[in-house]
Amino acid sequence: MRVSSYSMAGCLAVSCLLGAASHAAEIDLSPCDLSAWDGRQEVDAECGTLVVPLNPNDPDGETIELFVAVVPALAEQPSPDPLVVIAGGPGEAATRFYVTAAGAFTRIVRNRDIVLVDQRGTGRSAPLQCGSNQDDPFLTAGGVDGMIDASVQCLEGLDHDPRFFTTSIAVRDLERVREALGYEELNLYGVSYGTRVAQHYLRRYPDRARRIILDSVVPPEVALGPEVALASQAALDALFNRCEADNGCRDAFPDLRQHFDEVLEKLRGAPVEIVLDHPRTGDSVDVVVDHWMLVGVVRLLVYHPQTASLLPVLIEASHRGDYRALATQAFVITEGIEDLAVGLNNAVVCTEDIPFVRDVDVEAQAATYMGSAFMEIVAGICEHWPRGLLDDDLREPLVSDTPALILAGELDPITPPRYARQAAAGLSHAVEVVGRGQGHGMLMVGCAQRLMAEFLDIDEVGALDLECVGRMRPFPLFISRMGPGP
């Protein structure tokens, strides 16, 4: 079996005696089915758990279990180095993410095991869930104060101390998993926040990271938060500009930008109550449509060009007083993120980002469609959440000669392409790919899957053929409910 417990054979006697308690871990794997949040997708895997200390500095204290899954390679004699898939969020479980994106790893799993570790605080690894408070801040009524109050209730109801649910500890967990499974080296794929975990693992364990793929990267020195509203406004402006430059969209929606501003102001002043058939259950539900809902839907739809393409139709319908499409998208988005561990999200952000925010341009934020509410909410939440364990060098620029493939979307509203350039500055063997017209997360776009597979196999990463990248195109904008124009 390719997956085995860590062997102590061959180590020096002294180091064995000193390290046995912390490194002689085992993971007993057995067949299992991984499923998506809605249960409609499944992947066959081998699953098990690894017991680790809650506080890594107190090995004899409270413990938690990490949920680990291995999707075995199809080849009889696969490459010895697996690919570890690290999800984003923070708060998304790697196992759930992989199930929804499994098709993108088809080329890789032919010859490599896929290793999935639900990061502590997510999925089935001591999740820091927040009960019913799982919605996006802008999709939930109550405004700034309501969201802060909900976060306090969440904190009070957690089963574990959130100070021990940070990136600094997550990479130690990953190294324990590597040892327990018996792999000498790992390849890492991280997306969004997962790139922070991947980069810090490379920093901590450079001899164990063979190659690294950073999809929508967050440079270690960047504190997420202050630029969210500005970057999202830039993505929305880019969509408006595209519509104005496209004959079909311009003819269908000549005043799209103005109409969006008018809808936003109308809902800010007077929320609207509507009756809607729930998109999943079909039940009739009463819905309050306000500017928080509009902001939340727009903020998340602009993440991806496929969903951003719906915005012209959605905005115009709302301008006519028909808010059904807007409310339906709010339901769909909320259900899609219900598995996100908000407690883990808060634990990470309040330790690794908000304490390092400097020089916030309040006036610039206030001028965006999101306003300054995002930072007010997050900063308010972090006033109540404790700061967790943080490695001193977590936020230092990463310098490494480990081969890296960096994927970025031209229109990414949360991790823009300049982050890719910033991260690549210290990576001497980095290959950068920017997808024209693409958004957050390049995994499912164009030839990205082929590039990832070839990057893991090719001897010289500088020889990676990037010709296909030039053929990437923006997703066409919808001009009616029937789709894009001719």
C-alpha span between 54 and 165 (Å, rounded)? 8
Which residue ranges make up each domain of the chain?
A: 13-223+391-471
Q: What is the per-residue pLDDT for 217?
A: 98
More confident residue, 142 or 86: 86
Beta-bridge partners for 49: 67
- Strands (E) located in 36-182: 42-53, 63-71, 83-86, 114-117
Q: What is the per-residue pLDDT for 142?
A: 61
Q: In terms of Cα–Cα distance, which of 299, 305, 303 is closest to 326?
A: 299
The pLDDT of residue 19 is above 50: no
pLDDT one-digit tens code per residue, 173-209 = 999 999 999 999 999 999 999 999 999 999 999 999 9
pLDDT one-digit tens code per residue, 28-43 = 999 999 987 666 678 9
The pLDDT of residue 473 is above 50: yes
Q: What is the per-residue pLDDT for 478?
A: 87
Per the CB < 8 A criterion, the answer to whether 294 and 264 are in contact is yes
Average pLDDT, the chain: 89
Q: Is 56 helix (H, G, I), strand (E, B) or coil?
A: coil
C-alpha span between 291 and 268 (Å, rounded)? 5
Residue 144 CB partners (closer than 8 Å, separation 6+) = 373, 376, 377, 380
At residue 60 the predicted structure's pLDDT band, cuts being 50, 70 and 90, is very high
Q: What is the per-residue pLDDT for 38?
A: 64
pTM: 0.91
pLDDT one-digit tens code per residue, 96-116 = 999 999 999 999 999 999 999
Q: What is the per-residue pLDDT for 147?
A: 86
More confident residue, 60 or 131: 60
- Looking at domain 13-223+391-471, its CATH class is alpha beta
What Cα–Cα distance (Å) separates residue 418 from each residue in 222, 233, 424, 445, 473?
11, 16, 10, 19, 20
Residue type, 240: F
C-alpha span between 290 and 265 (Å, rounded)? 10
Beta-bridge partners for 35: 42
C-alpha span between 118 and 67 (Å, rounded)? 6
Q: What is the per-residue pLDDT for 37?
A: 65
pLDDT one-digit tens code per residue, 233-265 = 999 999 999 999 999 999 999 999 999 999 999
Q: In terms of Cα–Cα distance, which of 462, 433, 429 is closest to 445?
A: 433
Residue 78 CB partners (closer than 8 Å, separation 6+) = 2, 72, 111, 112, 113
